[in-house]
Amino acid sequence: MNSDSPTSDDVKTMSTSTPTPRGKTLSSDGKKNGSMKKNYNLGLFWKIAKLNKGLNKETIEKALDDIEKKNCNKECFDKVVESGVVPQFIAILEKKECPLELTIGICSLLSDIMWANSKHDKLMIDNGIILVLMKLMTSQNTTLLNTILHCLGNMADNLNHDEESILLTTDGFLSKFVGIFHKTKKMIPLILLKTASWSLMEICRNLPKSPLVFMNVAIPFFLGVIRHPKLKEEEGYYCLSNALWGINYITENQQLGIDIALHEKGIVQSIIPFLNSKVSIVQLPALRILSNLVGGTDKQCSKVLKLGLLDFVKPLLSDKNPIIQKETVWMISNIVAGTISQVKQVFSTTGIIPIILKLFKLKTNHSLRRECSFVVSNTLSNPLVSKTSVVNLEFILSCIKGICYGLDSDIQTSASPMLEALMLTITHARSLSMDGVKIVLYWIRTTNVLSLVQSLLEKYRKKVDRIDELCKKITINCSVLKSCLVTMKLKKKMMN
């Protein structure tokens, strides 16, 4: 079963800008949304001297002044760290006498330092920032809570580098986080909901494996955001996107995550409508979640299919966005890798298989043809498929024509799955009638299968995995198919 997933570029978020998933940016040019400019109240930090005499006022003043003048140039944030004040800033946050305005200012600066350079995350974690932020999460101040959530999201990419980061998956942290959400549901400050969903999504994305206690809180939280009645406009889509990506990361390659997600009543019905969305930042993660769910056990896959998923999926195969097309084909490949009943459901949904086989002709999209190859291979790898009407002459001919159409282009990245799909197709042609075998052999000659295979072997030998083995099997299978035809003719002659 294919488990490829979209690649992403890491993007952090400043505490003053629109929080976006790191790697799932919302702007068309791939840059972080929102302005980098941040006017720090320099006078505010002088209060630090009264709380901790160990800080060097001149060093802080110069570093912060540089940041303000240069519109938050990332190198200037590095100067703040180099001055050695970060551990002392964190220590000050623990002091009860630290005023609210100063607490917000320090948290904001620490968040932006982590935004500027992820290598500073480790320094923050080593100096106990997670415990400090957890204590501050009991605050009723929306601005402070929003800044704390930014800090947590911006340090998330180092969660798997430090044991103390496990604190973020404990009951203590989660109870405080849920507390924020309860306030959110009552007060509905969109900016806080947006940052909360982004922060928790970042934690989900960077945890090597989500603990049970964490998933039991995170999934209902994200589902609550998805069902929020006031998130259907532009700003709300950011929240929805974060929540959907969060569920995706929990259910991605995690059987327990899929189990917990499917135990949430109505989760599939809540996600399926986003497949029809014209907003790509919610459509893509919704598609990924459903692909994860059908990629679980056969029982889990059947549970999702019963809710009419295939009817919503079919239009996506013709979507103008090639990423949506690829992810949709990937989902289909996961389904046909299941039971024979699930294979039949896909083939009985009018239009799905013909569209997928036509996608082989998109020579410029190698990753999409790769996914189409997995649909064919997964279907034909089912030992029971030959006993059904699924593998008929029309399907076999469409596979041969579609695959061979693209074999004459530069297909190094998709050569192995395409050749395997072709090999399995020719193998299953033996189950056809004598007339069917004749037609298949005709098209094998017409499409120059053996010449194309030999050409690929010469071109990609030692470059493509299994190419020698697959090319040899295709050649043998073609010979076997010819022998089958001879045997059929002899049998027919003897019967006459």
Q: In this structure, what CATH number is given to the domain that contains residue 483?
A: 1.25.10.10
Let me know if residue 150 belongs to a domain.
no
Bigger pLDDT: 32 or 489?
Answer: 489
Q: What is the pLDDT of residue 25?
A: 26
Residue 230: what residue type? K
Residue 125 lies in a domain: no
**Weakest-pLDDT range from 24-33, 277-286, 433-442:** 24-33
Q: Measured between alpha carbons, how far is 327 from 319 in angstroms, rounded to an integer? A: 11
Reported as a pLDDT band with limits 50, 70 and 90, residue 436 is: very high
pLDDT at residue 62, rounded to an integer: 61
SS3 readout for 152-187: HHHCHHHHHHCHHHHHHHCHHHHHHHHHHHHHHHHH
Reply yes or no on whether the pLDDT at 486 is more than 70.
yes
pLDDT at 294 > cutoff 90 = yes
Cβ atoms of residues 135 and 94 within 8 Å: yes
The mean pLDDT of the chain is 80
pLDDT at res. 48 = 53
> What is the arithmetic mean of pLDDT over 453-482?
91
Position 423 in a domain = yes
Strand, helix or coil at 363? coil
Structural domain total, the chain: 1
Distance CA 233, CA 239 (A): 10
Domain presence at residue 348 = yes
Look up residue 254 and give its amino acid: Q
In which band, very low, low, confident or very high, does the pLDDT at 284 lie, cut at 50, 70 and 90? very high
Residue 197 has pLDDT above 80, yes or no: yes
In this model, does residue 10 exceed pLDDT 80?
no
Assigned domain for 221 exists: no
Residue 428 in any domain: the answer is yes
Residue 327 has pLDDT above 70, yes or no: yes
**Side-chain half-sphere exposure of 256, counting CA atoms within 13 A:** 8
Query: Would residue 292 count as lying in a domain?
Result: no
pLDDT digit string (tens) for 155-196? 876 665 555 556 666 667 777 777 666 544 455 577 888 888
pLDDT given at position 474? 95
More confident residue, 389 or 243: 243
pLDDT computed for residue 203 by the predictor: 85
Higher pLDDT: 254 or 480? It is 480
How far, rounded to the nearest angstrom, does the alpha carbon of residue 217 sit from its chain's CA centroid? 20
Amino acid (one-letter) located at 475: T
Q: Is the pLDDT of residue 479 over 60?
A: yes
**Pair 103, 64: CB distance under 8 Å:** no
Q: What is the pLDDT of residue 8?
A: 36
Domain hosting 351: range is: 319-496
Predicted confidence at residue 17, as pLDDT, reads 33
Please state the rounded mean pLDDT for residues 392-400: 93
What tens digit of pLDDT does each residue of 238-279 get? 889 999 999 999 999 788 899 999 999 899 999 999 999 988
Question: Model confidence at 3, in pLDDT bands (50, 70, 90)?
Answer: very low
**Res. 4 pLDDT band, cuts 50 70 90:** very low
Q: Is residue 480 part of a domain?
A: yes
Q: State how far the Cα of 37 lies from the Cα of 175, in Å rounded to an integer.
A: 34
Residue 441 has pLDDT above 70, yes or no: yes
Contact (Cβ atoms closer than 8 angstroms) between residue 194 and residue 235: yes
Return the structure tokens found at 335. 């389904």
Can you tell me the mean pLDDT for 92-116?
84
Buried b (16+ CB within 10 A) or exposed e, 198-234: bbbbbbbbbbeebeeebbebbbebbbbbbebeebeee
Confidence of residue 73 (pLDDT cuts 50, 70, 90): low
**With 50 as the cut, is the pLDDT of residue 108 above it?**
yes
| 113-135: pLDDT as tens digits | 888 888 888 888 888 888 898 88
**pLDDT given at position 377:** 95
Alpha carbons 382 and 424: distance in angstroms, whole number: 11
Tell me if 292 sits within 8 A of 251, measured CB to CB: yes
In this prediction, residue 214 carries a pLDDT of: 81
Please state whether the predicted TM-score (pTM) of the whole model is above 0.85.
Answer: no
Is residue 57 over pLDDT 80?
no
Q: How far apart are the first and last CA of the chain?
A: 46
* Pairwise pLDDT comparison (5 vs 100), residue with the higher score: 100
